Structure 1
Amino acid sequence: MGRKAGFTDEQVFVWLADHLAQAPGVTVQQVSKGTGVSVGSLYHRYGSMEGLLAESWLWAHGKYRELIDGAFEHTGVRGAVRASLRGLVLAGECRSAANLLFAVPERYLVRGGIEQAISTRIQKEKTAFNNLISAFAKREEFDAETIELAVIQMPKAILQKYLPFEEIPEAVSFYIKKTCRMIVTNPINVTEPEPA
C-alpha cells in the first residue's frame, strides 16, 4: 500500500494535534505513519519537523484570530464578552485547533530551527492578533492588558481544565462570561496601593 500522493495541511495538523494532546513528542516518522503521508512529502511541504509544528500553530492561531476579530465588531463589555467565548467556539468547531492552542505549550510548537520565512509569518500573526486587542481596547477605552487577560488568558485557563480529552460542560460559557465581565468592569489600577 502506497502513501497518500495528495493530502491537505489540515489532515496533518488534526492528526498532529490529537497526537500531541496525548504525548509531548512526535517524529516525522510518526506523523508519516499516523497520516499515511510519506516522510518525503512531509519534508517537501514543511521543510522540517520544526516547520511542521510552526505551520500547525499558524493554522490554529489563524482560526482563533478570525473568530476574535468577528467578536470585536461588537462594542463595549458586550464585545469583550463575545470575544472571550471564542476559544469555546473554536473548541466546538475545531477541537484539534483548540487542542494545539490551549493544551500544547506554544514553546513546543514555535521553537528554534524554523526557516526565516515561517518565523516572519509567525511574527505577523502575533502582531495581527495583538493589534486586534489593542485596537478594540483603544476604541472602547479599555486597558489593553485588561482586555487580553479577560478575553484571552482567563478563558484559555478555564478551557485548559477540560482540553484535550474531557467534554466541556455547558456551564463553562457562564464562567467565561462572568469572569470576563468581572475583569473588564472592575479593572485593577496597579498604581493604587493594595488594601491592607
Structure 2
Amino acid sequence: MSSASRNRILLAAQANKPAETPLPTVPDFGGEATAERFTAVLSSIGGTVVWLDGLGQLGSTLQQLFPEARNTASPLFDATVPIHADTPTHVLAEIDLAVLTGEIGVAENGAIWLPEANMLHRALPTITQHLALVLDHRRIVATMHQAYAQLPSTGSYGKFVAGPSKTADIEQSLVIGAHGARSLVVLLY
C-alpha cells in the first residue's frame, strides 16, 4: 500500500469518527442487604449459615459441626496445625478444617470477601476439606457492586468465596469438592 493510500484511508476514518459520549452512570442495583437473603442464597448453592450469639460460642459450635476434624487451622483459636505464608502445600493438604474471618458478605449471591491477610496462606481456603468463615452480619451488602466499592484500591490479593466447590463437567455427574473445600459454613454473629 502506498503512503498516499494509507493517508487517504486514515483521513477518511478520522473524518467519520463518531463524537465521544460520556459513560453512563452505573445505577445502584439495590436489593436487600439482609442476613436472611444472604442465608437463603448461600443455602441454595450448598453453603450453610449458622448464627452465633457471640464469638465466645465459636469453639463449641465448631466442635458440634465438625466433630471429626483433627487437623485445624485458624487465627481465631488455638488450632492444631500452625499455618503461615510459607507452609508447604503437602501440610495444607492435610487440613480438615480452616476457620477464617470473612470481611464482606454479598446477599445477592452468597459470596464472602476473603482478603489474603485473613487466609494464613493463599492456598488454605481452597485446599482445606472444610471451610468455615466467620462474618459480622453488619458487613453484609446487597450487591457485588457495593462489595467492590468497599474493597481496597491497593490491588492486594483476595477472593470471593461462595458455597462449596462443585462441578458436573465430567459425564454430567455432580462432584462436591472438586476444586476446593467440600463444605462451606458461614458463622454469622
Question: TM over 0.5: same fold?
Answer: no
Greater share of residues in strand: 2
- Give TM class, smaller chain: under 0.3
The normalised TM-score by structure 2 is 0.23
Greater share of residues in helix: 1
The normalised TM-score by structure 1 is 0.22
